[in-house]
Chains A and B, each alone.
Chain A
């Protein structure tokens, strides 16, 4: 078999290929680069059988390493590889017909030939080599760039003979910057200030102002929350509510405070393993808990342990590394050098947290903590120190004297009796039912004498479950008095004094686990005390102590203090008991109020799920085919070889993993992150496949630019604000987004950034912008997810009735006007208008949303009540704040697209307005109906027809492409 490819033809093909270049053009088009040009071909056509998956290396041939016998360096015509792939006979051609892989195209063969001719040098895949600061490119246009980043963009444009677009006008820039940084348009005042600022640097100042707004962190957090699949429910089966929103609020706070990227990552992955972790560092580990969970009836814990861990590994590798390791769950990765053993090496970092694999269907499957913010913590600390101050101010000798004086004699008792046992069907009934001893029906009770003694435990007097028994006796008091005493029961209790109910406590508990303090008005002489003990299940019991339990606590504290008077603890304990339980005084009143306040305040701080590591890690095994039942070899925690290893001296746990991730040696993390940030601002990232930096992913459109961004991000201490500022203040970003015919041909997707960004905004931004234009957006930071208007039956119709999120209870008032990022996110039924506008379900990691354009989206922005209501309140706003039609339209344009209307637009909309006016003046009933949408109050003193007509104008503007699009 002798067939060589004419060299001349080969050169032409390669050249043509490089020119057609959807891949990065190089300075020398004839030079082939293994990683960029050859690897994608081999990976696509050959690696299925001859790639890194060692078990599949057909005929012992691997085409991903240096020792391939199929390649004769320098001589394509002598290389078996070339012969086999260009074989005309389909029977002997590679790849084989039945492999499901397509044959190579002539230009692909030409590229491989050229590479062999060049010497067949293998190179490590670009993304596995740590980035270094690239050389500043030489550019012809020396005036355009506003910062070094621009030079990298410009070099690329000049290489393609394209010129950048001129800078967009000020209004456009103001709107664009505000929307990409904060997810909201500028307020009219901010816009005015920026317009008036004619001094140099006005745009930079404006950008700084935007980044200082709390809405910056909210908007930026949204992208991260998509990636980590944040939601307010567990996601599987019942899909019950999950308590983890403090994590979401922490992300917002961190971004607003510009927490360095290293900390941002380390806290989330392993905050719990840091030395003496703060509350915030622990709340951040909500990241680890973000996987979907279930407690479906019949579910097998081991199966879900594996599933949950897969979810964590897959998400972490996509979000942090841009690697699709999940292929290696079942076998060595076919395309990237990730072995199955490596997958389970990563798995081993995540399989040993304390949370149970099944969530118990509860809101807070442990572990969780009270997620106080630093401000809240500061307030708690202030309260605690004030309490301590009060304790220290107690005069202990005076206290001792007062406690001693308080001592009371224990009254005598007699005639104790016990009733029969009353059995009921349930604990509730046993507690509620008034049996003969307490009812006034006159039924005689067969009381029996009871050898009872106060201060002693009496166990098993009810004996059966869901039943009660009554005990009564006579208490003899020397004088009439208010008297406090202690009652302890297993389980619940009710107490009557002289026929009057004075205490009731419905609870399941063990005897003496707590003592109820009961206060009664006793008369002089004999008093009848009646006690009902209600048993829920198993053991029961009663103990009555005829003295004030508070007195006992005080005396115990005093005794302890007297025993060791000089220890700090005994002093503080005595002071605490005295302030809490001793005689009333100014300081005790202050103390008690403060305690109450502190308890209430603490109770208002939500709990949040966190990660905690088991003391001893679970062993990890290779799971064959990813099946939890098919355990293979045991594996140790480790990093895939190709990505290096955890630095020596670092503990091999989640923290070590996080430290490896954020170490300068890591080739991927910074690139992956800056790449996604680029996507935020330009719609498409430098590596379009933001979720795949492996050999099947896209070669970077502009690697020097990517590496420049990654390296300067690291050099700036991982400051996300500095990164965002650099991009948003660049000449690149400031270009006009008008598209010329030339650029539509040469740069159709704007991958070279030959113009400003132009893409439809995300669902959340569209809704927020509508509400903002309507003047009804409520900007309250953080808190539990809210539930706005929603069509009936969306939750009820498809969920399990046992779910805690089965019934949708809409919020009212201010809550429904909050920013969309705070929408209560139920994974199995997310807010419908968000889904229709391409928001992901949040059940898997999404780092690149699809942006579609469908009729259902048009219906949403036309008819969804929140949009209609916003157009109505916007109409009220412009009607009440401007006095003539021209002024009103101008204001409407300002609020929606931050510019003045053009004459043609005014003319068109005024015609429309005339039509609506005529219509609604003739039909005021319809006008009233139209403006009744939504819960916001309807403006009084403005005619319904006028409101309705302008409402349609506002809705018209909210449905324009310009409103919906970053431009």
Chain B
């Protein structure tokens, strides 16, 4: 739209709505969350009168199955062999060497490359078969609650990644590149699809407390950053200590009325400046100050769990009462979904069990198991599961061979990028599904006949799911052709899936 016209329009609206209190004016203004962040206020008219902020033209490319995503990220690399990928034959191979025919010269990290042996460590945990509505699925005794919702889950046992260490692998699954600088998945969605709500961020990140006192892998803003996209699309990390959103609270000694008067003055001064300079950017700033005022009310309301029922707390477990636990975060995620947050990313750390795995893994699963199941059930009973895609994944899996001392009761496992397990639920993926197979060692991806598959990055390999394939599939559920959500930067159209990625249609309803 013509910028002069935009400015005029805005002025008219201001006169319509007045500028003083929380009347219709601010409510309407608040719909314009972050419109025109880059200096223009293009799209303002479209955004007006309708909830949320628009994405980019042409996106979604087709009718979406899911509107929202909750990504439960298990940072550190959970052991698929002790949780999902049941390998009963390994029991007899305890402490025998991993055959070369299995390892096939594939690289290992420098934490175990110096080991003289690669002795097999069978899982200590019992697996039980559960009815998932199709062929059944074995689940470890460590995940009793998750096992109770397997009818809703689409479990992928043949995920693989290219990176072998945490930092690159985590950056890869979050941003589609091992090297920092690319936008995270949530930023891409925020950019492409826009917002579903009036007064909350589009992309929210939650960090969870970890019960075990093991050192944890770091997670950091680049994992939810906007890379080369404008920074308004970055994830907003909500905090469980202090203000949920940085600098949300007014200082002590300033009440809401005083803030209102102060903001009214700021607005009046800005209007005078708008009159003087005629810069539409001033109009945009006026709007942002009003939205900030709105956020100060909407965020505390979102974080307030006091109105949740006992039944709900029973579902998530008593930890949900404690802010910052994974359980509390899952409950918050459900609330955010209800309020139209597009992408919610929950981080849980501490899965990097190189040694004393059996000492620490139970505490990890205890942190997340009940809440994962509760989230699925809660979304289901509130009718949100169909339109919400839930993803549970780490950055890679763990080796069948032991790192460090090995006994029947305890062992450690190194990073394993060649095959690991993730699950999805809701959002148009097939419930009760198990996709992909691994060999008897959980080391390589195999086809139906047990033949090793060497998946390629270049082409889709049926039976194997590359990180870019997962990303393409998630985007697909949101109505996006992953090759079409692009951003022109440094002479190239970049996308989340780089130049790869295929939608894994077998996973979809």
User: Which A residues lie at the B interface, using CB under 8 A?
Assistant: 100, 235-239, 292, 294, 296-301, 307, 310-311, 318, 324, 326-327, 335-336, 625, 629, 689, 691-692, 694-697, 737-741, 744-745, 748-749, 758-760, 791-793, 797-803, 827-830, 832-833, 835-836, 838, 841, 843-844, 850-860, 862-864, 868, 902, 904-905, 908-909, 912, 915-916, 919, 925-933, 948, 952, 955-957, 959-962, 964-965, 967
Contacts and interface: CB of A to CB of B under 8 A. Distances in A.
A135 B209 CA distance: 67
Interface string B398-434: 0000000000000000110000000000000000000
19 contacts: A100-B483, A298-B415, A299-B110, A792-B242, A800-B218, A830-B221, A836-B246, A838-B231, A841-B222, A852-B37, A852-B38, A855-B33, A855-B34, A855-B292, A855-B294, A858-B288, A858-B292, A859-B247, A928-B253
Contacts of B284: 853
Given A696-B491, A853-B36, 15 more contacts: A297-B165, A300-B110, A307-B179, A853-B281, A856-B247, A858-B289, A859-B292, A863-B251, A916-B258, A919-B257, A919-B258, A925-B253, A957-B269, A960-B273, A961-B282
Contacts of A956: 262, 265-266, 269
B451 to A, nearest CB: 24
Nearest to A101: B493
A855 B288 contact: yes
Contacts of B99: none
B450 interface: no
A760 B217 contact: no
Given A689-B491, A793-B241, A856 B236 contact: yes
A336 B490 CA distance: 12
B262 A912 contact: yes
Interface string B183-208: 00000000000000000000000010
A843 B175 CA distance: 14
B277 A863 contact: no
B408 to A, nearest CB: 26
A915 B261 contact: yes
Contacts of A841: 180, 221-222, 225
A318 B288 CA distance: 34
Contact of A959 (B257, B266, B274): B266
Nearest to B170: A237
A929 B251 CA distance: 8
Contact of A905 (B165, B269, B490): B269
**Interface class of chain B by DSSP:** loop
A601 to B, nearest CB: 38
Contacts of A749: 39
B392 to A, nearest CB: 20
A854 B34 contact: yes
Given A318-B490, A324-B491, A689-B491, A853 B415 contact: no
Nearest to A736: B277
A930 B251 contact: yes
Given A854-B34, A859-B245, A695 B414 contact: no
B216 A908 contact: no
A737 B484 CA distance: 39
B260 to A, nearest CB: 10
A964 B288 CA distance: 14
Contact of B285 (A748, A853, A860): A853
A296 B218 contact: no
Given A299-B165, A852-B230, A853-B39, A862 B247 contact: yes
Contacts of B241: 792-793, 797
Interface string B154-187: 0000000000111100000000000111000000
Contacts of A740: 278
B459 interface: no
B491 A237 contact: no
Nearest to B352: A297
B16 interface: no
Interface stretch (B1-9, B305-313, B329-337): B1-9
Contacts of B100: none
Interface in B478-502: 483-484, 488-492
B3 A748 contact: yes
A775 B278 CA distance: 32
Contacts of A292: 180
A255 B253 CA distance: 45
Contacts of B288: 853-855, 857-858
Nearest to B483: A100
A908 B253 contact: no
Contacts of A836: 246-247
Contacts of B272: 902, 904-905
Contact of B232 (A696, A741, A854, A919): A854
B236 A744 contact: no
A801 B221 contact: no
A801 B279 contact: no
A798 B165 contact: no
B16 to A, nearest CB: 21
A931 B254 CA distance: 10
Contact of A310 (B179, B249, B269, B292): B179
